[in-house]
Amino acid sequence: MFGGASHFVENDHRFVPPICLDQIDTVQHESITTREQLDQFCDTIAREDWIAFDTEFVSEDRYRPELCLLQIASGNRLAVVDPLTMPDTQPFWDLISTPGRTVIAHAAREEIRFCYRFTGKPIAGLFDVQLAAGFTGLEYPASLGTLVSRLEGKTLAKGESRTNWRHRPLSRHQIKYALQDVTELRSMQKKLAARVDQLQRQSWLEEEIADLQQAVINGEEQENWRRVSGMSGLSPRQMEIVRQVWLWREDRAQAVDQPPRRVLRDDLVIELAKRETDQVDRIRSVRGMERRNLARLYDEIAAAVRKALEVPEADLPKRPRSNRRRFSNLLAQFLSMSINCVCRQHQMAPAIVGNMENVRELVAYELSEQSSGKKPYLLQGWRAEVVGKSFRDLLAGNLAIRVADRDADDPLEFIEVNRP
């Protein structure tokens, strides 16, 4: 139970009136604390054509974030589910991974990850209001509070961003803070969807949401050893050592339910790779490896390094070749600034289109003598329509940029170059 004088009013199956943020302290909402209650609640809202939800979790000291709270709005029902009082929350994830409704969330990366872990599927019919806002010219990435202020003219309560959501009982203020994350989602979704439709960008938004979900799934399924900090300059053999030690670290972290970097820091992984030795004495001599919790793991770490040392040369990882030094950095900076110009004309948030690194990739691709292989990020999907043609025309000298309104936030605009 959430307990104390501030726990929820139990009304497991009643309908509640529409929610207003400034009335959350007094409105009745459902407190779901058993699997049976959750089953019944999900059976009921399965008939609705929309579900809005959010999660609260703790990730600092676990291998994977621990789900601590689920806030759900659907139809005229509002509920908070306590995952810590039931075996699992499987019925809800099964529901939102099944097509047949719009599922509304804000900045849903972690929610996608939870859904995939529970079901092995993405969220069906996902509408991410943060992404949708970026496609309609609003700020991106915008916080929930910013979007509620801009679209609903309301202010969200603050003060619980560092709450320990494992702690019970939760106070009435904590519950109000959690509930406000879902009460305005449906209203915002309708407004943003209408604007996206007006701009004829529904397919763009769907593509971006699908790409986001796939990226999250790939992060769950694929090896991410190349993200270890300090990889620059390592040889193929050393990169293989990083890979094998990273794989060992992941297995160990999962077994003891700790963040991988708490098991073995990135800088120690890199130092082990540079030494290229599986001798326990030399592993022990690395500064930082003398920690008490690592002493009993030397043999396991040595075995991981040994495995990397035995990989044939032909099977070692290769560093992707880059030709980005072959062009003027000034050119990339100029094109990066021009993204704002492109986005203003398309009524889109620049950050959702791309960044400086994406521009560098595009310029390198366009100026390469052999522009083959995978197309750069800015030439894929809807981004090719927004920036691809304009950037290519700029590089070809068919477009120019001029100052259109020096007092505007984005004073530049494209103009066609009249050539003889």
Identify whether residues 269 and 335 lie together within a single domain: no
Residues 217, 229, single domain; the answer is no
| Rounded Cα gap, residues 255 and 297, in angstroms | 13
Q: Is residue 336 part of a domain?
A: yes
Specify the number of domains making up the chain.
Answer: 3
| CATH number of the domain within which 369 lies | 1.10.150.80
Q: Look at residue 2 and tell me if it is in a domain.
A: no
Q: Where are the alpha helices (DSSP H) in 98-235?
A: 109-119, 129-134, 144-147, 172-183, 185-198, 202-221
pLDDT in the model for residue 371: 58
User: Are 265 and 355 in a shared domain?
Assistant: no
Model confidence pLDDT, tens digit, residues 225-274: 999 999 989 999 999 999 999 999 999 999 999 999 999 999 999 999 99
Same domain, 252 and 297: yes
Give me the domain span that covers residue 231. Answer: 225-315
What's the maximum distance between 2 C-alpha atoms anywhere in the chain?
81
141 and 56 within one domain: yes
Cis check for the bond before 411: say yes or no (omega within 30 of 0): no
pTM (2 decimals)?
0.85
Question: What is the b/e burial string over 232-270, where b = at least 16 CB atoms within 10 angstroms of the residue's CB?
Answer: eebeeebbbbbbbbbebbbebbeeeeeebeebbbbebbb
Q: Which of 221, 252, 286 is the last residue of a domain?
A: 221
Tens-digit pLDDT profile for residues 147-195: 999 999 999 877 666 778 999 999 888 998 899 999 999 999 999 999 9
Residue 106 counted as domain residue = yes
Using the predicted structure, report yes or no on whether residue 334 has a pLDDT greater than 70.
Answer: yes
Which of these three, 290, 315, 340, is where a domain ends? 315
Q: What is d(CA 419, CA 310) in angstroms, rounded to the nearest whole number?
A: 62
**147 plus 246 within the same structural domain:** no
Of residues 11 and 107, more confidence is placed in 107
Is 244 found in the same domain as 195? no
